Structure 1
Amino acid sequence: MEKLKVGVINLGCDKNRIDSEIIISSLSERYNMTNDPKLADIILVNTCGFIESSKQESIDTILEMSKYKEKYKCEVLIATGCLTQRYGNELLELMPELDIMLGVNDYNKLLSSIEEVLLKKIKVQYCSYSDENINEGKRVLTTGTYSAYIRISEGCDNACTYCAIPNIRGKYRSRKIENIVQEAKELSEHGCKEIILVAQDTTRYGIDLYGKKNLHTLINKISKISGIEWIRVLYCYAEEITDEIINEISINDKVCKYVDIPIQHISDDILRSMKRKGRKNIITENINKMRKNIKDLILRTTLIVGFPGETQENFEELKQFIKETKFDKLGVFKYSMEDGTEAAEMKDQISEEIKVQREEELMMLQQNISKEINSKKVGKVYRVLVEGFNGKTYYGRNYEMAPEVDGTVFFESDKVHNKGEFIKLKVTKALEYDLIGVVYYESCE
């Protein structure tokens, strides 16, 4: 008897992607996988429920996939992830098209749930909450074998007033160093060259398990693995950066001199209202310390505009800070009023019109900063990780670029270059976010 086919659609952040990769690995032991929903007997949507736009995308995707039950082969429609964890019964009532709904701590029930639905023709739902469970296990990479994310912890203790993550993912809990290193070794054995460490807050890694921040130790151990050439660290809280972390990034040749510090705002009034631990003086001090001690450092941040009570004065302070600090990479989000968060109950909510205006102002400001920074790279030589060919030019990333959120390096070559290959490129032209170059050395292994 031919195996049933399963299609998996991942939405949301890179931590969700890791969950999807674990899910795919589990499903592939029993079913055949397909990227075409028209051919799928079972369709699974791993949802995001972080902000309003991502919730709407998740709902729209589920509704779109439900049509495949009517028109094509699909017998079982499954929703998993943050949206299902957050809304549970409410979502199942609103979307009777769903056959199975699992929360973020219930992926171990996936195979048995599918069998139950197929045999008994009933609906199945599990949305348990956990402050202990961490999804670990074999993965099927969806990023290409040369690059992979590794989740080093789950959950969050920061309780920011705008964020629903602690209610969805639970308290902060670190994975054991030996488990993470073993996962990195296995990925390396399958051709992975770039490891990207992620968590809600990577800088606090180990504090629950080892009684101290231990990110620098973890980075050092991963760097000893043969085959791993780039280690990238995302989502560091600026106020939590330690001298040990700065030193490890500085001296370790395998660590990309790239740090993502999502500061969200710089006005102490807004940071206080957000219940962020950092304040302007600490954030500024640590940024200066990192730039002083890490040569050729690239700093990325994300900001929220239109938070309740954000005055024009607060916004102007943020703009001035961006002008002075000149982040290499910067993203902006409009504040989203989320159910069950403190900020949703606050007075002085900002109109959508003002949010859009402030977002556009910051992005235009950053575009000019980025173009200025990039223009200074013309003539420089970079090591580039090749990611593909679009029919005319090759494209890839240098150490300054994290996947999907930053720019791209484009180049032409008479030779064939494979995905995951490292080459050296000389920059010939700089755009606002992307770079164009020519091959400097055909190989730099």
Structure 2
Amino acid sequence: MSIKVGMVSLGCAKNLVDSERMLHLIRQRGYELVTEPGDADVVVVNTCGFIQSAKEEAIDTILELCQLKAEGSIRKIIMTGCLAERYRQEAADEFPEVDAVIGIGDQGQIIDVIDHVLANERMVHFCSKLDVPMSGRRVLSTLPFFAYLKIAEGCNNCCTYCAIPMIRGGFRSVPMEDVLEEARWLTEHGVTELTVIAQDTTRYGEDLYGESRLPELLEQLCRIQGIRWIRVLYCYPERITDKLLEVMAREEKLVKYLDIPIQHCNGDILRRMNRQGDAGTLAALLNKIRQMIPDITLRTTLITGFPGETEAQFTELAEFIQAQRFDRLGCFAYSQEEGTRAAEFPDQVPEDVRQHRADILMEQQQLIVEEKNNARLGQVCTAVIEGYDRWAECWFGRTAADAPDIDGKVFIRSETPLHIGDYVTVRLDEVLDYDFVGEVVTDESAQ
């Protein structure tokens, strides 16, 4: 009887790529992959340990799996990922029911780990985090037409609130030829939309080539046959160059979408975060981007309640967001993470104040999005089909202005059958909060 293995991937898309690489190794070994943990003999949990809410989700997931193990539904549990890497022996001691706790550097040896636990040998092992696999085949767990393309590992930015450098190590770019080879392989397997990711995509190539090579990489990706849309996430504002913007404006396959996590606009707060700039430099950058790419969709991420943030500094942030009118925005209350410099700052803001400020900004942003969406009514745009909603009796998908999993949807009426992965022309007729209702105008074949 074949061994059944399940994977639970938590956290970010970068983690998901790691999970997909492990799934390929597992399938290559001959083990059967299952989607429901309760159907598996062995469950691998790729955890997130970035902020408190992510840690709580990982812990809850592991406890649920331990309960399934106690009931006899599953035999073995393997824990890896950022939470395991961050807490190591502490994680192993906290969860004695878990059969293996391994670091991110051990993920390339996942088959050996599975073999050990099946032989009733408990493993607690941590290779160098620099050994995390940065290339290799994957079993895609996303929709068949879409994939993430991870171009680097780790981070050198050392923001004072962030634990990523100590969890994942320093910034390491994937060689350009390896990135392009993986992209070609993905398109050969039906992928038409790529989202380029790293902790800081704009730093890509600095360690290998002595300068950022993101513009060149994007140009090369655009030359690959079969790709329809390419999106770039996690661009640091101080590294967005004119060359990058020129490439984005020129290349048709690059969707006009930039994710720029500014975190704050007050210069003093940004310096305490070990970030650069202030409201003036950020406003100048955003103005330049909009001049060079007039139809750009801009997304950002903010942190409220960072240590020392005064009411006046928060008000400055709220006024900046109101003035800049980002198309997409996420806001998080500051999470005090042990081991980070900011966690030791003496002027911590009370937790309820942090969250209240985040709620204020999200309510403010909802009104901005409502106005922007109403202004788009009647427009005709391209959308990619993601599925069929049986309850609404219509298809749904995304426009180029919407990143997978984090932005809105378009619910689409069509007189003819559609298929997942189709690119169709849609007229936007109604607004539903962050989403639209539209109707197919003419079908459009994917190039």
TM-score range (shorter-chain normalised) is over 0.9
Counterpart of 1:154 in structure 2 is 153
Cα distance in structure 2, aligned partners of 1:3 and 1:166: 39
Q: How does 1:330-341 map to 2 (within 5 A)?
A: 330-341=329-340
Contact 1:132 1:173 in 2 (8 A): no
Contact 2:108 2:132 in 1 (8 A): no
Counterpart of 1:246 in structure 2 is 245
1:42-66 deviation digits (Å, cap 9, x = unpaired): 0111100000010010011011011
Question: What residue identity is the alignment partner of 2:85?
Answer: Q
Contact 2:429 2:438 in 1 (8 A): yes
2:438 partner SS: strand
TM-score (norm 1): 0.98
2:88 partner SS: helix
Cα distance in structure 1, aligned partners of 2:117 and 2:370: 54
State yes or no: 1:88 paired with 2:88: yes
Question: What residue identity is the alignment partner of 2:289?
Answer: M
Deviates further, 129-138 or 320-329: 129-138
Q: How many residues align?
A: 443
Contact 2:298 2:326 in 1 (8 A): yes
Counterpart of 2:16 in structure 1 is 17
Cα distance in structure 1, aligned partners of 2:44 and 2:18: 12
1:90-132 deviation digits (Å, cap 9, x = unpaired): 010011011011111111221112212222x221022233346
Taking only aligned residues, the RMSD between alpha carbons, in angstroms, comes to 1.1
Counterpart of 1:39 in structure 2 is 39
How far apart are residue 430 of structure 1 and its match? 2.2
Q: Which runs of 5+ in 2 are unaligned?
A: none
State yes or no: 1:62 paired with 2:65: no
Contact 1:156 1:201 in 2 (8 A): yes
Cα distance in structure 1, aligned partners of 2:268 and 2:433: 32
Deviates further, 232-241 or 106-115: 106-115
Contact 2:84 2:103 in 1 (8 A): yes
Q: How does 1:323-402 map to 2 (within 5 A)?
A: 323-391=322-390, 392-402=393-403
Cα distance in structure 1, aligned partners of 2:431 and 2:237: 29
1:160 partner SS: coil
Cα distance in structure 1, aligned partners of 2:203 and 2:309: 28
Counterpart of 1:300 in structure 2 is 299
Counterpart of 2:102 in structure 1 is 102
1:350-373 deviation digits (Å, cap 9, x = unpaired): 112111211110001000000111
Cα distance in structure 2, aligned partners of 1:73 and 1:352: 39
Counterpart of 2:267 in structure 1 is 268
Deviates further, 142-151 or 123-132: 123-132
How far apart are residue 431 of structure 1 and its match? 3.2
Contact 2:229 2:253 in 1 (8 A): yes
Question: What residue identity is the alignment partner of 1:64?
Answer: E
2:105 partner SS: coil
1:33 partner SS: strand
Deviates further, 363-372 or 433-442: 433-442
Contact 1:192 1:228 in 2 (8 A): yes
Percentage of matched positions with identical amino acids? 43
Question: What residue identity is the alignment partner of 1:70?
Answer: A
Contact 2:422 2:445 in 1 (8 A): no
Cα distance in structure 2, aligned partners of 1:442 and 1:223: 23
2:427 partner SS: strand
Q: Which runs of 5+ in 1 are unaligned?
A: none
1:332-388 deviation digits (Å, cap 9, x = unpaired): 001001010001100111112111211110001000000111111111101000000
Cα distance in structure 1, aligned partners of 2:177 and 2:281: 33
Cα distance in structure 1, aligned partners of 2:139 and 2:323: 43
Counterpart of 2:428 in structure 1 is 427
1:186-220 deviation digits (Å, cap 9, x = unpaired): 00011101010000100111111111111010000
